[in-house]
């Protein structure tokens, strides 16, 4: 039996159920976003559940990082750790007794059975099956053990795991995004639901929790599609109605391989540290596998909530495009307020071991906001203002040596005479100097910029010099190349 649709009128409940791996993977972040949007769009409930069954790496710290990232993205949960809710606890390690209760019930009712095969034996049999070209799934050896056989295994001191006895029937999964997927009974082998150490596997824990937490929709990665028939059968054995399922296409790297650490950037925390704005990441992620119409690219959070719809989720794996994210981030930076940019850029500079004067940063923001696609980049552009350790890079050094030390000295003398140290006055004097030098503006300013900022790339010259101040500007012009 395939699952029946949920009764109409029931309010939506969906969830994100990350394993606390120590960071929030962008793929999970996107799944979280889609669930959150779906819940908010329908006025439903968004639940956070931590799937930490038996993992060593499941520490409070790791869970804290995941929650911090979700909050940074603005994905608040209505039920879950720290906020509570009627169906808690929301951490699987605190729900273990529920899984063993269910397992006992299955054991008693014949939906599951004890399996005494050791991991070594299983692996060997899998290998052989594969070699024979047969499906490598469990062969059902312990499914119908006699009392005597069981006693013998027990006497041997063998560990006991519990396996779910899959009904011998085909299963159809109704997916909200993909339609129907059919699975043949023969391909659905019995699987472990309770490990020999008494902890549940994902298949059991997720299914039990989804039922007990009254989830109406399960929106998750496509990698879980093949496990859905198993969960459907567990839920059926539970005597419950299954939720509706929607499997999202996976997020892959530029090489079409699953997005992993090899690609450099998979953790939401990485984007945060690197200077991406949460609204940019949210907007980008929303469009990575979903679209609204032919042309709309920018969506405010409210617009996303208003327009999000599972039927417009794409079916194919989406490659994460860092350049497009950076472009989008630049767009949001250009739209951000001066105060906010001052704050985050100041923070970024501090992170670079500098001691920025926030008022100087504030004055410099208009100079760099169009020149940075990340906050980190803004910090790099303004570095010369907050340290005197400015060593010209290769291109800058070339520009300087081409013009000669005398040229810089002369520029310093001209600037020294500026009475009113404003960009306007500095501009007037520098242009005069450039004209006298019979050089193009480009050629004349290059060495000055190089000496003052240490780079051939910088914010506009006059304003940069104004912000740097007379003394430091003259000092740099006079010491460079000497």
- The correct pick among 5, 84, 109, 119 for binding RNA (CB under 7 A) is 119
Name the DSSP letter for residue 443.
Answer: H
Of 101-109, 289-297, 404-412, 472-480, the window that binds RNA (rule: CB under 7 A) is: 289-297
Tell me, by CB under 7 A, how many residues bind RNA.
93
**Which residues in the 340-359 window bind RNA by CB under 7 A?**
none
Of 75-83, 326-334, 345-353, 407-415, the window that binds RNA (rule: CB under 7 A) is: 326-334
Sign of CA dihedral 86, 246, 60, 92: positive
The answer to whether the CB of 315 falls within 8 A of the CB of 348 is no
The answer to whether the CB of 25 falls within 8 A of the CB of 267 is yes
For residue 250, the minimal CB distance to RNA (Å) is: 5
For residue 319, the minimal CB distance to RNA (Å) is: 3
- The correct pick among 7, 43, 133, 406 for binding RNA (CB under 7 A) is 133
Does 201 interact with RNA (rule: CB under 7 A)?
yes
The answer to whether the CB of 12 falls within 8 A of the CB of 45 is yes
For residue 445, the minimal CB distance to RNA (Å) is: 4
For residue 7, the minimal CB distance to RNA (Å) is: 25
256 contacts: CB under 8 Å, gap ≥ 6: 317, 319
For residue 31, the minimal CB distance to RNA (Å) is: 11
For residue 365, the minimal CB distance to RNA (Å) is: 14
Of 173-181, 232-240, 269-277, 347-355, the window that binds RNA (rule: CB under 7 A) is: 173-181
Please tell me the chain's helix, strand, coil percentages from 3-state DSSP, rounded to the nearest 5. 50, 10, 35
- The correct pick among 44, 242, 330, 379 for binding RNA (CB under 7 A) is 330
Exactly one of 261, 324, 395, 402 is catalytic; which is it? 261
- Between 71 and 127, CB nearer to RNA: 127
For the chain, what is the largest distance between any 2 Cα atoms, rounded to a whole number of angstroms? 106
Distance CA 125, CA 210 (A): 33
Of 232-240, 265-273, 274-282, 364-372, the window that binds RNA (rule: CB under 7 A) is: 364-372
Does 297 interact with RNA (rule: CB under 7 A)?
yes
The residue assigned the tokens 């209505």 is: 78
Does 115 interact with RNA (rule: CB under 7 A)?
yes
What are the Cα distances from residue 106, in Å, to 1, 17, 54, 163? Answer: 19, 24, 21, 10
Which residue, 179, 238, 248, 242, is CA-closest to 215?
242
Does 225 interact with RNA (rule: CB under 7 A)?
yes
The answer to whether the CB of 400 falls within 8 A of the CB of 450 is yes
| Helices assigned H by DSSP within 21-91 | 26-41, 60-72
- The correct pick among 2, 22, 42, 54 for binding RNA (CB under 7 A) is 54
Active site residue 402: no
As given in the structure block, the two tokens for residue 404 are 């000669």
Residues labelled catalytic: 261
């Amino acid at each position: 039996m395939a699952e029946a649709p949920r009764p109409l009128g029931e309010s939506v409940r969906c969830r994100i159920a990350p394993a606390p791996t120590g960071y929030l993977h962008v793929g999970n972040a996107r799944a979280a976003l889609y669930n959150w949007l779906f819940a908010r769009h329908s006025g439903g409930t968004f639940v956070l559940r931590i799937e930490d069954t038996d993992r060593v790496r499941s520490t409070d710290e790791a869970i804290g990082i995941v929650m911090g990232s979700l909050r940074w993205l603005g994905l608040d949960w209505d039920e879950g750790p720290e906020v509570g809710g009627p169906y808690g606890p929301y951490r699987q390690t605190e729900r273990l007794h529920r899984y063993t209760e269910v397992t006992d019930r299955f054991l008693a009712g014949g939906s599951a059975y004890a399996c005494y095969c050791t991991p070594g034996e299983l692996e060997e049999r899998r290998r052989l099956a594969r070699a024979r070209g047969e499906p490598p799934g469990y062969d059902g050896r312990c499914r119908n053990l006699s009392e005597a056989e069981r006693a013998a295994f027990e006497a041997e001191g063998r560990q006991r795991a519990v396996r779910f006895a899959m009904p011998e029937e085909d299963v159809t999964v109704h997916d909200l995004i993909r339609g129907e997927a059919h699975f043949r009974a023969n391909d659905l082998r019995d699987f472990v639901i309770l490990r020999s150490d008494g902890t549940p596997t994902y298949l059991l824990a997720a299914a039990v929790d989804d039922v007990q937490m009254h989830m109406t929709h399960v929106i998750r990665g496509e990698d879980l599609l093949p496990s859905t028939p198993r969960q459907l059968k567990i839920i059926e054995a539970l005597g419950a109605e299954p939720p509706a399922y929607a499997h999202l296409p996976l997020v892959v790297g530029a090489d079409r391989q699953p997005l992993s650490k090899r690609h450099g950037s998979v953790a939401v925390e990485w984007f945060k540290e690197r200077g991406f704005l949460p609204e940019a990441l949210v907007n980008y992620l929303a469009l990575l596998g979903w679209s609204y119409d032919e042309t709309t690219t920018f969506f405010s959070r409210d617009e996303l909530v208003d327009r999000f719809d599972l039927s417009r989720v794409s079916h194919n794996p989406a490659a994460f495009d860092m350049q497009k994210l950076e472009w989008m981030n630049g767009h949001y930076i250009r739209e951000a307020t001066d105060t906010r940019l001052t704050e985050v850029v100041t923070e970024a500079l501090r992170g670079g071991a500098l001691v920025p004067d926030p008022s100087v940063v504030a004055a410099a923001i208009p100079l760099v906001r169009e020149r940075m696609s990340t906050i980190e980049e803004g910090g790099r552009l303004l570095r010369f203002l907050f340290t005197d350790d400015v060593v010209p890079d290769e291109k800058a050094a070339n520009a300087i040596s081409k013009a000669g030390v005398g040229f810089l000295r002369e520029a310093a003398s001209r600037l020294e005479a500026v009475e009113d140290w404003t960009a306007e006055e500095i501009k007037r004097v520098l242009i005069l100097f450039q004209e006298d030098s019979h050089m193009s503006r480009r050629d004349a300013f290059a060495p000055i910029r190089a000496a003052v900022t240490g780079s051939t790339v910088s914010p506009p010259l006059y304003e940069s010099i104004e912000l740097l101040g007379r003394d430091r500007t003259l000092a740099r012009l006079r010491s460079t190349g000497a």
